[in-house]
Amino acid sequence: MKLIQYEFIKIIQKRSLVIFLVILCFVNIGIFAYVQNLDTTIPPSSYHQLQTDLASIPNHQRYEYIKTEYEKYQGFLTIEQLTTLRLNVQDNQYMIDSILSDFPDVEEKYGKLYKENHQPVYTKDLESEALFLENILNEFQKLHDYPSYIENIQAKAHMISQISIFHKENSIEEKNIQKTANDYQSRINTPITYECEKGISSILSFPITSLMIILAMMVIASSLIIDEKEKKLFSIIKITPKGQYQTMFAKCVVMFLIIGVITICMMVSELLYASYIYGLGNLSRSVQSLAQFYQCPYSLTVIEFIGLFIFIKWLAACLIGTLMLLCAIVFKNKITIMVLMIFIMAIEYGLYLIISPLDSLYLLKYFNLFSILQTDTFFQIYRNIDVFHQLISLQVLTFIGLVCLLLIMIVLTTMTYHYKRNMCIQNIEIKNFKHFSFPSLSLFQQECYKIFFIQKVFILCLLCIFVQCYQYHYVPIYQDSEEIIYQQYMKELEGPLTNEKEQWLLKLQKHYDNLNQQLSLISQKEKKGLISHSLSITLQQEISQQQIGEQSFQKVFQQYLDIQKNPQKQFVYPMAYQQYFIETTWTFMPTLLLCLFLLMSMSHVISYEYQNHANLVTQLTLKGRKPVLKIKLGLSLLIGFIFLMMTMFPSLFLLQQKYGFASLSASATSIQDFAIFPSWISIGMICLASFVLKILVVISIIVIIHVVGVKTKNHLLTLFMSTAFLLMPMILSYGGYHVLDAISLYPLFFAGQYISSVQGLLQILFSLLGYGILSVLGLRYLFAYYQNV
């Protein structure tokens, strides 16, 4: 017991290792949060609101509620499609007839409801609402059909057992049929609870957690064996009374405990976040109430299933850990150990991907480290395995095999450690291998090599590109019919008001006024009994078809009236500017990514020389201070500009593609949100000012990080202190907690939310002055104290 305690203390005392593991946990929950917020079409708030609504509806009525709502909004969406197509009846007649043939009574059934209120409840537009409710209905449909599913299993078992070809005493087929029926027999009366499962499924199916657990486990295993190999401590440890079996067993136990703690921390943090944004529902409901796991034959609640999920994931990670320990004991070179582990994991992943579930080698697919780590897919299947003419379910067999293999690996690792001699690290020496050195003596090229390759900034650049490509691929944009019509109007009218535009607007307004007068006359005639009710409805429907787009036109006409009063204004379609400058949906996640990549890439730049004690040499040279610092600052600004362009460009491209940043030369007052500016300021000037402001913020962030680096002389401290000062206040401001607004970067990054009032402009100005002065003082501090001992 004391050996376990001592090994645990040794791990805890390695601050860099502990900090790395903590960072892994934060990175895991950060990526999880980022991925959950990628879908702007159906945001997490939709699921949370639905979960709240379902809680107020009796369980037996929830399926019908979702079904009714889906049919209603699908009808609304169909009516909206018809409305859009009827803008050009001649070209779209075939499509209109096709839709009406598929949904002949849609306008009769939902037309009145559509006119009264067709605003979506859970999302921002009708298409997203219909898609959201369709996904929920598909889940609920499986739950609704669950009793029939169980009854069909029993009926098929009874029917097949009567067929002579299957009815063979003690045959595998007979046993399989009976075992399947018996396993599901107890599930006949399983209570099914209709609740949204998005929160649970997001946690259980998130693959990055498995990757982070593997990474943490490999680092821990490396720390337990390789670090002591490098220090040649095993030659002393192994001659002590408890330096053989007991020491290795203690190391295994410590590794298992730490991996267990990390796994629980990662999963619990995801549970808490998912509960906050989605809602988890009643965790005591049966696991069959999750549509993904309705085939699960075990009597488990959701909370018990999550516990089992974490336990199996932990066992798989422990097995990989013992494999890593064994490799670290056997081989003498770190590169060999890492290459071998990567090779083994690649083979396992290849088997997991390539082998079909129907292949004769299917056990290699399911009894596989990746299959077990991705435990959610493991429990979504039901299969029995023939073991010595006895049928065992796949999950039970895998669990038993996993435990047995883990015990075997512990024994094998302990025995290998006992009999292994000369446990030390050796470098690989390859004969006739030509070693290349960096040829340039240029300070600039040397610093480039150091920052981009030694400090791995190029990997962050590649990761940023990957994340942005992923985001670009998964960000849909939807416009309802009214918005499309409005956009078409604005494209026709874009620019200053002319006589032709004015005449066209007045003519169209007169047309809509005449239509409204006709509707009024028809109603009056019906009241006086001059026409029948059916004829009145027919005439009103004909006129209503001609009124399509009137609501959008009125928005345009109001803008025309405003331009008449203020001739300096122009017709401008404002959607792209509103989305980019005013709304945070498009800008917060890219801004957060920008800050994270700047923090991770810049925290090494200054502190690298201090941690390697290179400053003791370079500060004595002619160019070791100010010239090197200028190059570091220049490269840092270049990297900051690269990250700024990579994080902001996808959003700009998507908005330009969908809405267009038109009329850049028009007066800023043409857009209502920019009305506070003088008329001589154009929209393009505001866009340019916003871009320059972001560049100044990036410069301030870089300078502050470098100042912290000079002050702390430590990479991890620089990262944590800079994150606490720069990132946390901004996140709190975004979340609605304005305690640290005075030092937050939020007004500078999201200046569009502050430009509608003088007070907001002053707040931007004060923040800019504050960070500007801080940056100037920071630069003076850097040039005064850089590389001082």
Please, are residues 153 and 180 in contact by the beta-carbon 8 Å criterion?
Answer: yes
Domain ranges (residues) in the chain: 2-37+192-419, 44-177, 443-474+574-785, 481-565
Q: Which residues of 134-149 are buried (b: 16+ CB within 10 A; e: fewer)?
A: eebbebbebbbebeee
Residue 501 structure tokens: 């535009």
Q: Are 213 and 259 in contact (CB under 8 A)?
A: yes
In angstroms, the CA 499 to CA 358 distance is: 73
pLDDT of residue 163: 60
Rounded CA separation 738/734 (Å): 9
Distances (CA, A) of 205 to 66, 198, 274: 25, 10, 13
Q: Which residues contact 598 (CB under 8 A, 6 or more apart)?
A: 640, 643, 698, 701, 702, 705
Q: List residues bridging with 387 in a β-sheet.
A: 390
C-alpha span between 270 and 202 (Å, rounded): 9
**612 vs 13, 335, 470, 607, 713, CA distance in Å?**
21, 22, 37, 9, 10
Write down the pTM of the prediction: 0.64
Q: What is the pLDDT of residue 789?
A: 47
Q: Which residues pair with 390 in a beta bridge?
A: 387
Q: Kindly give the parts of the chain with pLDDT less than 70.
A: 1, 87-92, 94, 157-158, 160-173, 230-231, 233-235, 238, 333-334, 357-360, 422-441, 469-480, 615-616, 618-620, 622, 624, 787-789
Rounded Cα–Cα distance for residues 267 and 29 (Å):
9
Phi-psi category of 279—alpha, beta or left, where left has phi over 0 and alpha has psi -120 to 50? Answer: left
Phi/psi of residue 391, each to 5°?
-90, 130
What are residue 380's phi and psi, to 5 degrees?
A: -90, 0
CA atoms within 13 A on the CB side of 449: 10
pLDDT of residue 479: 65
User: Tokens 């067709």 identify what position?
Assistant: 118
Output the CA–CA distances (angstroms, integers) from residue 457 to 448, 573, 601, 638, 786, in the order listed: 10, 40, 6, 12, 22
Tens digit of each residue's pLDDT (9 = 90 or more) over 422-441: 666 555 444 444 444 445 56
Place of tokens 């090779």: 343
Q: What confidence score (pLDDT) does residue 477 get?
A: 64
User: For 388-401, how does the pLDDT look when each residue is reduced to its tens digit (9 = 90+)?
Assistant: 777 888 788 888 88
Determine contact, residues 733/595, Cβ cutoff 8 Å. no
Asked if 25 contacts 262 with a C-beta cutoff of 8 angstroms, the reply is: yes
pLDDT of residue 417: 79
Question: Which tokens in the block code for residue 8?
Answer: 């645990």
pLDDT for the residue 427 = 52
* Distance, CA of 668 to CA of 662 (rounded, Å): 12
Give the C-alpha separation, 68 to 28, whole Å: 39
Q: What is the dihedral of CA 626, 631, 635, 638, to 10 degrees?
A: 90
Helix (H) or strand (E) holding 385: strand 384-387
